Amino acid sequence: MPRLPDHVSYITGAASGLGLATAKRFAQEGATIIGADLQRADGWDEVEGLSPQSSFHILDVREEEPQREAIAEAVAKHGKINSVVTAAGVAGGGFVHMLDLAEWQRVIDINLTGTMLSVKVCLPSMIEQRAGSIITIASVEGLEGCEGGSCYNASKGGVVILTKNLACDYGRAGIRANAICPGFIDTPMFQSAIMGGMGEERAEPIKFQHKLGRWGQPEEIAGAALFLASEDSSFVSGVALPVDGGYTAGHQYGSMAELMGFE
């Protein structure tokens, strides 16, 4: 039995990576998808289970009005928005004394302000319904620092606190808000920013800190989003949920794994 029957979800960043994986999983579970991204996904129309009622909007999450129009169209057509998943985001960072202000602003505007605007346009419908699930995509780097993280970490830390505030502000209206904090997930952005920038050998220590010993997959984040969108999480709100293969569990040095024969 589908877990999201008669469900309408607004998913940003839906053209690739976490957004596309989430759109696919939600569609398979019966949801109608309102997708949005700067460009249309090549395989969008071939997404398994995608309802003919689903739609895709080419827009920039930094702009409020195009998103408002997309949601107004969806509400007029479907009568509601059940969930929003804010998967649109960019990488960026650098040491602060070398960081260009324009780069700082770009990352903050897309990752944090864009998240706020995507949620904002969905809230009137959710308030009227007295129900809804807000699912923001933050990061483990929004929970703890890392060298060179600067604007990216600040933006994702902002997403975490924004989400907690949303849970406080709208819980009495029946609206839940939770942040997913992925570890390092094998997406096109990961391949470009991490593997392309560092190379596999230099990235190995980062993979090592994932206690499961591997990079995550987009479908694993989609599974967490499905839980938070469904009634299975009906009493879950205000949570920053690491989906990180144990990355934030603590420090790992390798000696015990070797001693126990796990390597």
Catalytic residues: 152
Q: Tokens 């895709």 identify what position? A: 56
Euclidean distance between CA atoms 87 and 136, whole angstroms: 7
Phi-psi region of 253 (alpha: psi -120 to 50; beta: other; left: phi over 0): alpha
Euclidean distance between CA atoms 135 and 229, whole angstroms: 7
The SS3 assignment for 263 reads coil
Euclidean distance between CA atoms 127 and 119, whole angstroms: 12
What are the two backbone dihedrals, phi and then psi, of residue 135, each rounded to the nearest 5 degrees? -125, 105
The SS3 assignment for 239 reads coil
The SS3 assignment for 135 reads strand
Q: What is the side-by-side order of every strand in the sheet holding 240-243?
A: 55-58, 32-37, 8-12, 83-86, 132-137, 175-182, 240-243
Give the single-character DSSP code of 146: -
Closest CA to 26 of 10, 45, 15, 38: 10
